[in-house]
Chains A and B, each alone.
Chain A
Amino acid sequence: MLQNIFFGLSLGAVYSLIAVGFALVFNILKFSNFSHGGVMSFTAYAGYFAYIKFFDGKVSGSLMFIAIVSTAAAVGAITAVAIERVGFRRLRRNNAPVIYYFISSITLGILLENIVTIFASSNFYSYPMFFSANNITLFGTTFSVADVVTLLFSSCALIVLLFVLYRSKLGLGVRTVSFDVNTASLMGIDANRVVMATFAMSGALGGISGVFLGMNYSLYPQLGQLVVKGFIASVIGGLGSITGAVIGALLLGIVEVALIGVVGSGWMPACVFVIMLVFLLLRPRGIAGVIVQEKA
C-alpha cells in the first residue's frame, strides 16, 4: 500500500510539473494553453536527440540526466517563448476574445506534435537508463531509484518556481499581470516581458516534465497528450491556483494508481473522467480556486 501511495506521489509529482506549467499561463492570459502538450513532446524528443548527439559516451549516469533535463528545459523555454510570439502576441494586441487563444493554442500543439512525427517518424525511442536499476528499501517497502529521483527532482523544481514567483521581482510582475494586464502596464510593468518570462518558465517546466514522461513511458509523438492530466489536475485544484494545481496533481496521481489496481488500466480513463465530472459538478471552483463571477 505504501508502495502504491509512493508510486502515485511520484506520478503525481510529474503531473504537477505539467499542471503548474499549464496554470502559469492560465493565470496571466486566462485561457487553457493546449500547446503545452506539444511543447512537452517536442522537448522530450529534443532531450533525446541531445543525448544521442552530444552526451552519449561523454558523460554518464546522473550527470547525463542533469544534462538532458537542462537541455530539455532550455529548449522548452525557447519553444514556449516562440509560441507566445507567433500564436498569442497579436491576439493580445487586438484584444481578441478568448476563443481565439484556444484555437491558436490547439493549433500550435498539433503543429508541434506533427513536426515531431515527421522528424522522428512513428518509431518508439526510449531514454537510456540514467540510474542503476537498484531499489531502495525503506520501511519494509521497495522503491525504485528512478521514482525517488522523479519525486525529489520535481519537488525541487517546484520549490524553485515558487521561490521565483513569491520572492523575486519577476515573480511579483507575473502575479501583478495575472490580476490585470492593463493596470500592470500603467504601473510601469512591461507586460510583454512578463508574459514572455511566464511562458519561458512554463516551457521549462514542460521540458522537464517531457523528459520524465519520456523516462516513464518511452517516447512517442503523442506524448504531449498527457497534458490533459495537467489540465485535469489544474481543474481539480482550481483553475488559477498554483498550489491547487500541485495538490490536484498529486491527488490525481494517487487516484490513478489506485484505480489501475481496481479496474485495470483499460477502464481507468473512463473512471477518472466520471470522478472528475462529479467533482466539477459538486465543486466547480476546485480545491483552491476562485471563481470570478461576471458583473454587469
Chain B
Amino acid sequence: MDYIYSILTLTGITMIGVMGTYMVTGLTGQFSFGQAAFMAVGGYVSAMLALKFNVPFVFAALAGAAAATLSGLLVGLPTVRLRRDYISLVTFGFGEAIISVLNNSAQLTGGAEGLVGIPKRVDLPLVAISVACCIFVVACYKNSKYGRQCLALRTDELAARSMGIDVNRLKLVTFLFASAITGYAGVLYAFYAQYLEPGYFNWTISAEWLIIVFVGGINSLTGALVSAAILTSLPEMLRFASAWRIIIYCVIVLLIINFRPNGIFGDWEINRLWKKKNNEKQRTPGKGAQA
C-alpha cells in the first residue's frame, strides 16, 4: 500500500512539472530544456529556508515558488527574444549552470552529496489537491485570451503579430507562470522525499517531460496529463530498471512521431465531452448579423 502511495505521489508531482512544460512548449512552442532547473530552485530554496531558518512550511513553499518565478524572469527575459534553436540551448545552459552552482555551494546546499533532513510536510492528499488546483488554473489559462494568443503565436508568429498580439510579452508571462508551477512541484518533492540532490534535476528530466508532452499530443492538456500518469507510474510499478524504461519511452515516441505525429490525444480535450451540451443550451437561434 505504501508503495502505491509513493508512486501516486511522485506521479502527481511529475504531472505538475509536466504542466509547466506543456505551457512553455505546447502552448508557446518554446523548447525549454531547463524546466527541471526551476524545480530545483523551488525545492532547494524552500528546503534551505525550512532547515536553516526554521521557516514554517507554507511560507517556505511560497518563497520557493517565488524564487523559481524570479529565476524564470532571469532566464525568460533574454530567451523570449531569441530564435527557436537558441532557446533550447539557453535553457539547457541555465539548467546546467544551476546544477553546477548547487554542486559548488556545499556550505549552503550540501553540494553533490545532497541536502538531507528536510522535514516531511507533504503527503498524497496535499499532492492530489495541488494537482487538481494546477489542472484548474492551467486549463483556465488555456481557455482564456492567454491560451488563444499563445497557440496563435506558436503556429504563426508573424500572423499573430499582425493581429496585434504582443508576442514577447505573452511568451514571458507563460514562462513565468510555468516556472512558478514547476517551482511548486519542486517544493512538494523536497518536503516529500526529504532529500535533494543537484543531479536529480538535470536536463534528462526536462527532456523526459518534453517527451511526455509530445506523446500525449502537444495540443492537448488532457493528453499531457494522461501521458504523464501512464509513463511515470507504469514503469515504477513494473519495476523497470531506469535505462530500459527510458529506451521504451524512446521507442514509443519514435513510433508516435512516425505514425501518429499529433500525439495520442491529438488536440482532444476532456472538456469536449460536456462542452457540446453547454453550447447547444447557450446559443439562441436567430442571433447574429446578416450580411
One of B83, B96, B249, B261 near A96 (C-beta < 8 A): B261
Query: In the assembled complex, which residues on chain B have CB atoms less than 8 Å from the CB atom of A181?
Result: none
B48 adjacent to chain A (CB < 8 Å): no
**Range class of the B interface residue count:** 35 or more
Q: Number of contacts between A and B (CB, 8 Å)?
A: 113
Contact of B254 among A86, A98, A267, A274 (CB under 8 A): A86
Chain B hits for A26, CB < 8 A: 85
A111 touching B82, Cβ below 8 Å: no
Q: Nearest chain A CB to B215's CB is how many angstroms away?
A: 10
Residues of B within 8 A of A231 (CB): 89
Beyond the given pairs A90-B257, A270-B101, 19 more chain A to chain B contacts, judged by CB atoms under 8 angstroms and listed by A's residue number, are A87-B257, A96-B261, A100-B261, A103-B211, A106-B211, A110-B204, A110-B250, A111-B246, A111-B250, A118-B243, A228-B92, A235-B86, A239-B85, A277-B93, A280-B78, A280-B82, A280-B90, A284-B86, A294-B158
Q: Are B250 and A277 in contact (CB under 8 A)?
A: no
CA distance A111 to B158 in the complex (A): 35
One digit per residue, 1 when the CB lies within 8 angstroms of any chain B CB and 0 when it does not, for chain A 78-110 equals 000000001100110010101110111011101
Q: How far is the CA of A85 from the CA of B94 in the complex (A)?
A: 33
Q: Are A104 and B254 in contact (CB under 8 A)?
A: yes
Dominant secondary structure of chain B at its interface with chain A: helix
Q: Is the CB of B246 within 8 A of A114?
A: yes
Q: Give the CA-CA distance A111 to B254 in the complex, in Å.
A: 10
Report the nearest B residue to A31, measured CB to CB.
B85
CB distance from B96 to the nearest CB of A (A): 5
Question: B247 near A: Cβ within 8 Å?
Answer: yes
Taken together as a complex, chains A and B put the C-alpha atoms of A280 and B251 apart, in Å, by: 35
**Most chain-B CB neighbours within 10 Å: which of A87, A266, A273?**
A273
Chain B positions within 8 Å of A, measured between CB atoms, are 29, 31, 78, 81-86, 88-90, 92-94, 96-97, 100-101, 103-104, 157-158, 162, 203-204, 207, 210-211, 214, 218, 243-244, 246-247, 249-251, 253-254, 257-258, 261
A115:B247 contact, CB within 8 angstroms: yes
The CA of A103 and the CA of B244, in the complex, are separated in Å by 19
Interface size on A, residues (CB 8 A): 45
What would 29 A/B residue contacts be, using CB atoms closer than 8 Å?
Answer: A26-B85, A86-B254, A90-B257, A90-B258, A91-B261, A99-B29, A100-B261, A103-B214, A103-B253, A107-B249, A107-B254, A108-B250, A108-B254, A110-B204, A110-B246, A110-B250, A111-B246, A111-B251, A111-B254, A114-B247, A117-B243, A235-B85, A235-B89, A269-B96, A273-B93, A276-B90, A281-B81, A284-B83, A284-B86
List A residues 204-263 near B (Cβ within 8 Å).
Answer: 225, 228, 231-232, 235, 239
What is A's interface to B at a CB cutoff of 8 Å? 26, 31-32, 86-87, 90-91, 94, 96, 98-100, 102-104, 106-108, 110-111, 114-115, 117-118, 225, 228, 231-232, 235, 239, 266-267, 269-270, 272-274, 276-277, 280-281, 284, 291, 294, 296
Please report the C-alpha to C-alpha distance between residue A231 and residue B88 in the assembled complex, in whole angstroms. 10
B100 contact from A103, A108, A270, Cβ within 8 A: A270
The residues of B that contact A276 with a CB separation of less than 8 Å are 89-90, 93
